[in-house]
Amino acid sequence: MNRPSVCAVVCAAGRGSRAGFEKNKLLVPFGGSTALEMSVSAFDFPAIDEILVAVSEEDEGEVKALCARFPKAKTVIGGDTRSRSVYNALLQTSCDVVLIHDGARPFVSRSVVEGCIESVRKYRSGVCALPSVDTVALTDGGYIRSVPARTRVYSLQTPQGFFAADLRAAYEKAFAAGGSYTDDSSVYAEFVSPPRLCAGSRENKKLTFAEDFSPAVPVPSPARAGIGVDTHAFGKPQNYILLAGVKIPSDSGLVAHSDGDVLAHAVMDALLSAAGLKDIGHYFPDTDEKWAGADSMEMLAQVRRLIAERGFAPLSLSVAVQAQKPRLSGYIDAVSQALAAALGIPKDAVGVSAGTNEGLGDIGEGKGICVRAVALLRSLR
């Protein structure tokens, strides 16, 4: 079949009472954002067509605000059980495939999600799982009744993927039968067929207790740094230059195919480099008329989307401008502010310095401006 459309359902309608927080555990500050934001962002890549976040009425406003930066995400009101929440979401999607995911598993990697989708394509279902490291026992009244061979025991994680129509039908039968279920694979197993296992991961742990939220829990992927450098020459008949979109009076403009925002270009290359992507010439070729006179801050917004697709968000930025002229000191604050807004980071996470080249070389002779930028990114997974 053609590529099936895929909807991720992120379950966040519970309160997570075992963690003992005042509010929904998924919405407390965690790892620089919240567990829910990290879980949603794990599905924000091209293979996923829609993200439905099942929430309680109480949390809906907060979650809607959080979803605003994910164009594919929207909220759906959950039910009084996890099963009802999933079913409500199933009624809201017209996608072929659904991946049901616990909002409390923020560390799920893209490769785990892709493996789950692949399993659904091949076997009609995919349940992320890990072989058990513990011996498990079936008990009754405080006594061990049987111990299954450990090689046959798996811990089930999420996402769990199915064709939407199959899972919808399974839940309708489950509700009619009146059973209660803690995950989707057990409903599918009882009313459709044995679900297929696919690879989970150790990092994909479920945040359950308060200590799981402590800073001691390492965010698995480290930060990434990138450097960008750009130089443009004066010579455009124009009485200003643009630095991060800020208009600065000048006796000459900078020569460029785009609007000549040499600072924005250096920042873009730093961000792309940190994310392991190609340079701006690749994404915005100056042979393409489309970019003639282009607004570089608009291009910067596109770069931010590109790095988000790779699973990164800006953490901090440091910029050094070398220019013999014009005088920049009165504009540094506005430039920092513009960069902070464009990158969605606090102003104190942006540093901008400006200096001359002491009269040395082309920059010192006032022939052009050179900008160096270093960006630090955090992983969204």
Q: State the burial class of residue 27 (Cβ atoms within 10 Å of its Cβ: 0-12, 13-18, 19+).
A: buried
What would the DSSP string read from start to end of 292-340?
TT--HHHHHHHHHHHHHHTTEEEEEEEEEEE-SSS--GGGHHHHHHHHH
Stretch that binds Mg ion, among 75-83, 98-106, 260-268, 318-326 (CB under 5 A): 260-268
Q: Give the residue with the Cβ less far from Mg ion, 184 or 230.
A: 230
Instruction: Specify the stretch interacting with Mg ion by CB under 5 A; choose among 56-64, 95-103, 195-203, 222-230.
Output: 222-230
Angle, helices 332-343 vs 262-274, to 10°: value is 40
Whichever of 104 and 370 has its CB closer to Mg ion, that residue is 370
Binding Mg ion (rule: CB under 5 A), the pick from 101, 224, 265, 378 is: 265
Q: Are strands 125-131 and 197-199 parallel, antiparallel or unpaired?
A: parallel
User: Closest approach of Cβ 277 to Mg ion, in Å?
Assistant: 16
Question: Which is nearer to Mg ion, 77 or 294 (by Cβ)?
Answer: 294
Nearer to Mg ion, 266 or 376 (CB): 266
Name the token pair of 190.
């009882």
DSSP designation for 18: G
Asked whether position 372 contacts Mg ion by CB under 5 A, the answer is no
**Binders of Mg ion in range 131-170 (CB under 5 A):** none
Q: Decide: is 230 part of the binding site for Mg ion (CB under 5 A).
A: yes
Q: In whole angstroms, how close is the CB of 371 to Mg ion at the nearest point?
A: 9
Write phi, then psi, for 240 (nearest 5 degrees).
-155, 165
C-beta of 183 vs 230, nearer to Mg ion: 230
Least distance in angstroms from the C-beta of 268 to Mg ion: 9
261 binding Mg ion? (CB under 5 A):
no
Closest CB to Mg ion among 54 and 280?
Answer: 280
Minimum distance, C-beta of residue 303 to Mg ion, in the bound complex (Å): 13
Closer CB to Mg ion, 50 or 230, in the complex: 230
How many of the chain's residues bind Mg ion (CB under 5 A)?
2
Which residues lie closer than 8 Å to 33 by C-beta, 6 or more apart?
Answer: none
Distance of closest approach, residue 370 Cβ to Mg ion, in angstroms: 11
For residue 314, list its beta bridge partners: 377
Stretch that binds Mg ion, among 41-49, 132-140, 261-269, 297-305 (CB under 5 A): 261-269
CB of 159 closer than 8 Å to CB of 101? yes
| Rounded distance between C-alpha atoms, residue 131 and residue 119, angstroms | 17
Q: How far apart are the C-alpha atoms of 96 and 98, rounded to whole Å?
A: 7
Give the distance from CA 325 to its chain's centroid.
Answer: 40
Which residue ranges make up the site for Mg ion (CB under 5 A)? 230, 265
